[in-house]
Amino acid sequence: MSAGLFALALLFSLFSVACGSNSSDFDLDKCTPAETAITGKTFYWLGSSVTLGMESGDVAVADYIAARNGATCVKEAVSGTTLIDEPYKKIFASYDSYITRLKTTKAFDKSKKIDAFFCQISMNDAKDEFKDKRGAVTGTDVTEKESFDVKTTIGAMEYVVAYVRETWDSPVYFFSNARFDDTGERKSRDPKGSEYAVLVEAAYEVAEKWNSVGADVRIVDLFNDEEFNDISSEDYDFYMHDPVHPYKAGYLKWWTPAFEKILFEDFGSEVQG
């Protein structure tokens, strides 16, 4: 096969996968709501492209949880952004960090009671350019939100906990990506899986500190969940656009049930069929 024909075949293959993985079969209106322990609950979601659904038509876990369970999920998600309080600049636009958006967004009603706040552990913070800006968890005597260095990832994580505690007094769930690696089938060049793993571990350290002072911080760790990540190459290729971003099929068939399992256990229900 000539190079041109090979490239054409590869393009057709990728197009076929994308169309199938993002087909109308996985649209939100195809979801049948069930009565579960999170029906009627309100969840706020802060994140970047994975929370948004960059490769799935802006449909992601939060949207499927709402559609499948009759919950209210409000997303504040912008692709390319970081927990670190630095703007994300593109050629024609600039986008605010998690921290700036948390403080200024109109999406989150600060007077409303919510049942949980979800914060994505951004893979953008694990990129090479931010490796020297991880920061460290502060002592248990440091709890005022303005005390944290939001120019670091861990400082920003702590700020999110302090802000949510003060504003809504709800549980905070930090959630990770599915596993991606430095080599092999799930290789990601930047960020590398080994760098992202450091931030996932940091989220556990943040949770340990804050839970010791009376907060409620939990981790949805898809990255290290061996059972969750144990899927076939065929399923993986169908679910994922790249090692970081799922298609609609990936969110609906792979990621959402993992979140629901945790939420149903936390809020006291059986897993939806």
Q: Stretch 76-101: mean pLDDT, rounded? A: 94
pLDDT at residue 15, rounded to an integer? 54
**Angstrom distances, CA of residue 27 to CA of 64, 66, 271:** 9, 13, 21
**Residue 109 contacts by C-beta under 8 Å, 6 or more apart in sequence?**
none
pLDDT of residue 1: 46
pLDDT digits over 99-136, tens only? 999 999 999 999 999 999 999 999 999 999 999 999 99
Instruction: Output the pLDDT for position 225.
Output: 98
Encode pLDDT of 213-260 as tens digits: 999 999 999 999 999 999 999 999 999 999 999 999 999 999 999 999
- pTM, two decimal places: 0.91
pLDDT of 9: 44
CA distance 206 to 154: 8
Q: Determine if the peptide bond prior to 191 is cis (ω within 30°).
A: yes
Report the share of the chain in percent with pLDDT over 70.
91
Environment class of residue 117 by beta-carbon count within 10 Å: exposed (0-12), middle (13-18) or buried (19+)?
Answer: buried
Tell me the pLDDT tens digit for each residue of 28-61: 999 999 999 999 999 999 999 999 999 999 999 9
| Residues 82, 66: Cα–Cα separation, whole Å | 25
